[in-house]
Structure 1
Amino acid sequence: MVTDFETLRDSEIACAKINLALHVRRRRPDGFHDIETVFAFLDCGDILSVAEADSISLSINGLFSDGLSDSNNLVLDAAHLLADHANVAAGAHMHLEKRLPVASGIGGGSADAAATLRLLNRFWDVGLSLKALASLSEPLGADIPACVMSQTCRGEGIGQNLSPIGKVMLNGHYVLLANPLIPISTADVFRAWDGVDRGALAGEDAIEASIAGRNDLQKPAETIAPAIGDVLIRLDETTPVLARMSGSGATCFGIYETRELAIAAQAQITKELPKIWTMVGELK
């Protein structure tokens, strides 16, 4: 799969995001929560494409397109944000192939908005750097700057204070995503969190800290969707390097040293849980 964004002029991968760890520290006066997390990204996800048009518009298809609006969507918000910022007079017809489950803790709409910014930045010849696009995207959502970068990084604050992580021990590993097809509201999961600060990501090496860390939203998410626990049990049985829930759920992931191990785990878990959605990709 092609992952070099500069070689694709008219299409863009909205890379699936996983949180290797997610520590919730405190509730802020603005109602958000301070977090410490390590974002990582796969080389697969939703697909955005663009064609010349007189105005900015959107069409959607794909496995998880049902119920999505083509007039009230983060893709359109991102397109208008960039057009206004760069005084772009041209239009663009965006097409979204929705391959990732909605409300699933792996980027979803945030990754789609981020891919829109990268794609239109190139399509309209705006010329902004990824760092500038990430900064521009901040008002759109907490995860969107990280999704714009689509590289392993540490996130703090509400997730927008980003510190890129260079070559890491998990580069070249493969990820199995597994979702029991239960959409979960992030707000509901945070409301179910017990509010206990269980401490920071420990250690200087962010990846080692992540593996030793936790996802503080996993238990509250399991109270809403107990099937998450079943998925994690099955993932643990495949002996991954790491198995955990991503974000606020319900998608869980297992990380494996080779594609063959990830595919074997996928076959095992889909046999045991036939109603589950899965996808395998390489860590970028």
Structure 2
Amino acid sequence: MSVFAPAKVNLGLSVLGVVPAGQPHAGYHRLHTLMLPLDVGDELSVTPASSLSLRVQGAELPTDERNLVYRAAQMYLEAARGQAGAEIVLHKRLPLASGLGGGSSDAASTLLALERLFPAGVDLAALALRLGADVPFFLGPGAALVEGIGERLTPVRLPSVHLVLFNPGTTVSAADAYRWLGTGTFTAPLDVEAIRTALLAGRPLPYRNALQQGVLARHPEIAAALAALAAADLHSGLMSGSGSTCFALAPSREQAEAAAARLQSEYPDHWIRAASSVPRQSG
């Protein structure tokens, strides 16, 4: 079975605070973010086998419990008692630690593939949350408002979105990005309806990324990526998630592809892609 694992961008990310001591998930950050799956991503091949194994093509990544794909498969197979294993090949196409949710999407796609191969009534949402805050989103079919620590998802109907992704080759860990946020810079919830209205009208989006300022202060190359996107006549530039990938919007797929081609010729050593929003697809 071949499964597509889509990238995502955050159409705004607000950090409301930290879950207080004594409550479930104490110490985690409380999020309010609009997440959108894209038509670029990784792919996985999953085949029933007598034991669990993982191979990675396209990146130097561990193939044991240190890899979210392996852990997702291990957790599912343990929950679906009586299932022997699977041979998984991860075709890695997204840059690592880039704010596009690649590892989380790979893990969610692993759960979905195994559910199709070995139906057993397993609670995928519960497993996904144990794997990471972004993983539950990738179980769903499309754009969603994500709240709490990532476990509360509300589907949001959005028009088609076309954009250019620009990764300057820098890796940023989510732990660092949240640490750089500090405790005095929490932000208010996003105005999701205002974002949706601006998308429908083709206007600049009224959004923010609460993590962006702290990351840019330490990684000027990410600020340069945002400047390059703006110079390419794209609008609403923003860092996605904890970085380092930035994106900006275009009126059409054709204009996004043209801008991406110009930027790639100007920055040949960087990862630059045109992308569009799509519902999750697998086959």
TM-score category by the smaller chain?
Answer: 0.7 to 0.9
Of 231, 254, 262, the match for 1:260: 254
Structure 2 residue matching 1:31: 3-state secondary structure: coil
Structure 1 residue matching 2:37: 3-state secondary structure: strand
Change (3 A) 1:20 1:160: same
Query: Alpha-carbon deviations, 1:151-186, whole Å to 9, x = none?
Result: 1000111122110113x12x2x32321100111111
Name the counterpart of 1:197: 186
Query: Alpha-carbon deviations, 1:52-95, whole Å to 9, x = none?
Result: 31111100011xx12x1011211111112112222242311000
Of 177, 188, 195, the match for 2:165: 177
Change (3 A) 1:245 1:88: farther
For residues 216 and 102 of structure 2, the distance between their equivalents in structure 1, rounded to whole angstroms, comes to 20
1:75 matched to 2:69? The reply is yes
For residues 204 and 174 of structure 1, the distance between their equivalents in structure 2, rounded to whole angstroms, comes to 19
Of 150, 157, 175, the match for 1:159: 150
Change (3 A) 1:88 1:146: farther
Shift, 1:224, TM fit: 2.2
Name the counterpart of 1:188: 176
Shift, 1:209, TM fit: 7.9
Name the counterpart of 1:207: 196
Change (3 A) 1:81 1:183: same
Shift, 1:13, TM fit: 0.9
For residues 69 and 278 of structure 1, the distance between their equivalents in structure 2, rounded to whole angstroms, comes to 25
Conserved? CA contact 1:203–1:209, under 8 Å: no
Name stretches of at least 5 consecutive residues in structure 1 with no aligned partner.
1-9
For these two proteins, the number of residue pairs brought into alignment is: 266
For residues 36 and 208 of structure 1, the distance between their equivalents in structure 2, rounded to whole angstroms, comes to 18
Q: Which one-letter code corresponds to 1:155 in the other structure?
A: V
For residues 137 and 206 of structure 1, the distance between their equivalents in structure 2, rounded to whole angstroms, comes to 28
1:90 matched to 2:78? The reply is no
Of 127, 137, 140, the match for 2:131: 140
Shift, 1:205, TM fit: 5.2
Give the alignment's Cα RMSD to 1 decimal: 1.9
Name the counterpart of 1:53: 49
Name the counterpart of 1:32: 28
TM-score by length of 1: 0.87
Query: Alpha-carbon deviations, 1:228-247, whole Å to 9, x = none?
Result: 11111111122335321100
For residues 100 and 192 of structure 2, the distance between their equivalents in structure 1, rounded to whole angstroms, comes to 25
Structure 1 residue matching 2:49: 3-state secondary structure: coil
Name stretches of at least 5 consecutive residues in structure 2 with no aligned partner.
21-25, 200-204, 279-283
For residues 152 and 240 of structure 1, the distance between their equivalents in structure 2, rounded to whole angstroms, comes to 21
Greater Cα offset, 191-200 or 78-87: 191-200
Identity, % of aligned positions: 39
Conserved? CA contact 2:129–2:150, under 8 Å: no
Conserved? CA contact 1:40–1:150, under 8 Å: no
Query: Alpha-carbon deviations, 1:22-49, whole Å to 9, x = none?
Result: 0111122322111110000102201100
For residues 229 and 209 of structure 1, the distance between their equivalents in structure 2, rounded to whole angstroms, comes to 24
Conserved? CA contact 1:88–1:124, under 8 Å: no
Greater Cα offset, 241-250 or 196-205: 196-205
Change (3 A) 1:52 1:175: same
Query: Alpha-carbon deviations, 1:236-269, whole Å to 9, x = none?
Result: 1223353211000000112223221111111222
TM-score by length of 2: 0.88
Greater Cα offset, 49-58 or 244-253: 49-58
Conserved? CA contact 1:201–1:209, under 8 Å: no
Conserved? CA contact 1:16–1:41, under 8 Å: yes
Conserved? CA contact 2:80–2:118, under 8 Å: no
Greater Cα offset, 137-146 or 72-81: 72-81
Shift, 1:203, TM fit: 5.5
Conserved? CA contact 2:2–2:43, under 8 Å: yes
